[in-house]
């Protein structure tokens, strides 16, 4: 992301981009670059699901992807990688996703991190707890197509 434009709202960035880049086509390329450049951390232990998610994201232009497969490794990976967004499964080895998210929210690097929960746990209690921990959205895997998951990730990156 261009340091000149960081910290501005989307509308301010559009106006500045027009002045810096000159036309709408350049702005579209800049926004595409901005989204591709932002790192996504996927916390998922299911190899098949992980492979599908990574392929779909890469196909849609998201190339900067990092992976963590256990709940206990999430905080360290966030500190190390500084992702723009965490796509979080709740059923993980060693520590569940909500416990990891609670720990993450106590860290400076995780306090404001955008998080999307992607889980098969659809019970309202999990969704309520996730909302209390400030997730952007809560997606139930069995109710979503891969393209919808990617669309949710892209939308969250723009916030």
Task: Give the residue numbers spanning the domain of 56.
Answer: 39-157
The two tokens of residue 94 are 């060693």
| Whether residues 20 and 93 fall in one domain | no
Q: State whether residue 98 is helix, strand or coil.
A: helix
| Whether residues 29 and 56 fall in one domain | no
Confidence of residue 7 (pLDDT cuts 50, 70, 90): low
| Whether residues 107 and 72 fall in one domain | yes
Number of domains the chain contains: 2
Taking only the tens place, the pLDDT of each residue in 125-152 is: 999 999 999 999 999 999 999 999 999 9
| Whether residues 9 and 73 fall in one domain | no
Mean pLDDT over 79-86 rounds to 95
Mean pLDDT over 63-73 rounds to 95
| Whether residues 6 and 49 fall in one domain | no
Distance (Å, whole) CA 111 – CA 108? 5
Taken in order 139, 143, 65, 92, the sign of the CA dihedral is positive
| Whether residues 95 and 121 fall in one domain | yes
What are the helix and strand counts (H, E) for the chain?
A: 7, 5
- The Cβ of residue 131 has, within 10 Å, a number of other Cβ atoms equal to 12
| Whether residues 31 and 74 fall in one domain | no
pTM: 0.77
| Whether residues 102 and 47 fall in one domain | yes
Place of tokens 């659809």: 122
- Residue 151: which CATH number? 3.40.50.2300
Q: What is the pLDDT of residue 91?
A: 95
| Whether residues 27 and 53 fall in one domain | no
């Amino acid at each position: 992301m261009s340091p000149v434009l960081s910290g501005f709202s989307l509308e301010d960035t559009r106006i500045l981009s027009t002045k810096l880049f000159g036309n709408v086509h350049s702005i579209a390329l800049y926004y595409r670059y901005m989204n591709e450049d932002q790192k996504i951390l996927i916390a998922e232990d299911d190899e098949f699901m992980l492979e599908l998610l990574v392929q779909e994201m890469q196909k849609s232009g998201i190339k900067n992807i990092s992976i963590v497969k256990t709940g206990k490794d999430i905080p360290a990976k966030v500190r190390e990688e500084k992702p723009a967004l965490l796509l979080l499964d709740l059923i993980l080895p060693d520590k569940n996703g909500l416990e990891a998210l609670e720990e993450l929210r106590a860290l400076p690097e995780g306090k404001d991190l955008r998080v999307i929960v992607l889980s098969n746990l659809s019970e309202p209690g999990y969704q309520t707890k996730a909302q209390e921990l400030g997730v952007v959205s809560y997606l139930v895997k069995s109710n979503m197509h891969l393209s919808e998951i990617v669309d949710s990730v892209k939308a969250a990156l723009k916030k």
